């Protein structure tokens, strides 16, 4: 396979790609900047197990010593879960972190790009970045969206967190030509909750139907991502009103502490985790495992 000099596939991922076996990409920002130790390492490994149980190969992606790693060892997961100096790497940070040989955890945007270069088409995560509340003034719009407008990877996520402006995020995805498909329900989910108050633009009810949509999109050279919104399982759902108050408090704290740029999303996520006594963390872990399962089922269907 013709991969770039900057990409290193694990033997397991290399073998799977060489033999057209299903592979699911996983991001590392959620490990280094999205959850506390040790739940982050435990979750990263159990997410990989969920992918394996469905008959696919997990490819967790991160950057180390000048290489984009596609497929991490258990030791490497522990490293990214514990090290204090790991960069949060979106697209604009990639060349610097690679050239300076710094350790980097990849966001949705960076993970997608590396996955696409390696030949991995299906990607599971918790939530994507999007258009922030107040973006009409701050212009804080995640590079995840622009990357989704151009790179051919399907992302399974639990919708969009209401730390973002969900309506504007949906509008922006429409502008970029990104199909938004909710799995198994009509309403677009909002991460902690299966509800958001917004209709999903599209709905499909099986992994095979989703794989067919991917084949039609990319077969028609309609480049870019598909967002597959997978609602959090109801037993782990949090009430929309309860979470809204924490989000408002988090946004207020970010504002007061003058948090800016790439620090905004991790700050808000950490604030919510710290102030919900672990309930949000439990929900987060459950939904990412649920996303890994669906992503693996889509990857399996897509290889047929």
Residue nearer to ligand PSU on the CB measure, 140 or 301 = 140
Q: Does 78 bind ligand PSU (CB under 6 A)?
A: no
Q: Does 290 bind ligand PSU (CB under 6 A)?
A: no
Closest listed residue to residue 228, CA positions, set 24, 5, 3 = 24
Q: Is 260 a catalytic residue?
A: no
Shortest distance, position 304 Cβ to Mn ion, whole Å: 38
Q: Residues 27, 50, 140, 187: which binds Mn ion (CB under 5 A)?
A: 140
Q: Does 129 bind ligand PSU (CB under 6 A)?
A: yes
Q: Residues 162, 194, 265, 291: which binds ligand PSU (CB under 6 A)?
A: 265
Q: Cβ(196)–Cβ(190) under 8 Å?
A: yes
The partner in contact with residue 23, picked from Mn ion, ligand PSU, none with C-beta cut-offs of 5 to 8 angstroms by kind, is none
Q: Is 279 a catalytic residue?
A: no
Q: Cβ(137)–Cβ(60) under 8 Å?
A: no
- The b/e string for 40-73 (b: 16+ C-beta within 10 A; e otherwise) is bbebbbebbebbeebebbbbbbbbbeeebbbbbe
Shortest distance, position 149 Cβ to ligand PSU, whole Å: 14
Q: Does 142 bind ligand PSU (CB under 6 A)?
A: yes
- The b/e string for 112-136 (b: 16+ C-beta within 10 A; e otherwise) is bbbbbbbbbbbbbbbbbbbbbbebe
Length reported for the chain: 304
Q: Cβ(120)–Cβ(24) under 8 Å?
A: yes
Q: Does 182 bind ligand PSU (CB under 6 A)?
A: no
Alpha-carbon torsion, ordered 62, 71, 79, 229, to 10 deg: 60
Beta strands at 67-70 and 7-9: parallel, antiparallel or unpaired: parallel
Shortest distance, position 161 Cβ to ligand PSU, whole Å: 5
The answer to whether the annotation marks 162 as part of a ligand binding site is no
- Which residues are annotated binding-site positions for substrate? 88, 108, 142-144
Residues lying near ligand PSU in the complex (CB under 6 A) are found at: 27, 29-30, 34, 90, 107-108, 126-127, 129, 142-144, 161, 191, 262, 265, 269
- Which residues are annotated binding-site positions? 88, 108, 140, 142-144
Q: Which residues are catalytic?
A: 27, 161
């Amino acid at each position: 396979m013709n991969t770039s000099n900057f990409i290193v596939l694990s033997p397991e991922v290399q073998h799977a790609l060489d033999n057209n076996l299903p592979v699911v990409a996983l991001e590392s920002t959620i490990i280094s900047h999205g959850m506390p130790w040790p739940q982050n390492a435990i979750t990263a490994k159990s997410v990989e197990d969920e992918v394996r149980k469905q008959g696919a190969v997990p490819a967790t992606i991160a950057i180390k010593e000048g290489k984009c790693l596609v497929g991490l060892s258990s030791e490497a997961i522990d490293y990214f879960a514990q090290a204090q100096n790991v960069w949060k790497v979106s697209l604009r940070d990639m060349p610097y972190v690679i050239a300076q040989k710094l350790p980097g955890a990849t966001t949705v945007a960076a993970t997608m790009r590396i996955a696409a270069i390696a030949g991995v088409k299906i990607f599971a995560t918790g939530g994507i970045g999007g258009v922030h509340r107040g973006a009409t003034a701050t212009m804080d719009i995640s590079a995840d969206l622009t990357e989704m407008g151009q790179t051919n990877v399907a992302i399974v996520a639990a919708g969009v967190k209401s730390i973002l402006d969900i309506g504007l995020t949906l509008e922006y995805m429409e502008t970029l030509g990104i199909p938004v498909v909710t799995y198994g329900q009509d309403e677009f989910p909002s991460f902690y909750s299966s509800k958001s108050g917004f209709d999903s633009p599209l709905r499909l009810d099986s992994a095979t139907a989703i794989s067919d949509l991917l084949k039609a999109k990319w077969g028609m050279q309609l480049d870019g991502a598909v967002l597959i919104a997978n609602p959090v399982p109801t037993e782990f759902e949090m009430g929309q009103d309860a979470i809204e108050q924490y989000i408002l408090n988090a946004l207020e704290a970010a504002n007061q502490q003058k948090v800016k740029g790439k620090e905004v999303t991790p700050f808000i996520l950490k604030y919510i985790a710290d102030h919900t006594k672990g309930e949000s963390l439990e929900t987060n872990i459950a939904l990412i495992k649920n996303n890994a399962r669906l992503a693996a089922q889509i990857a399996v269907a897509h290889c047929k």
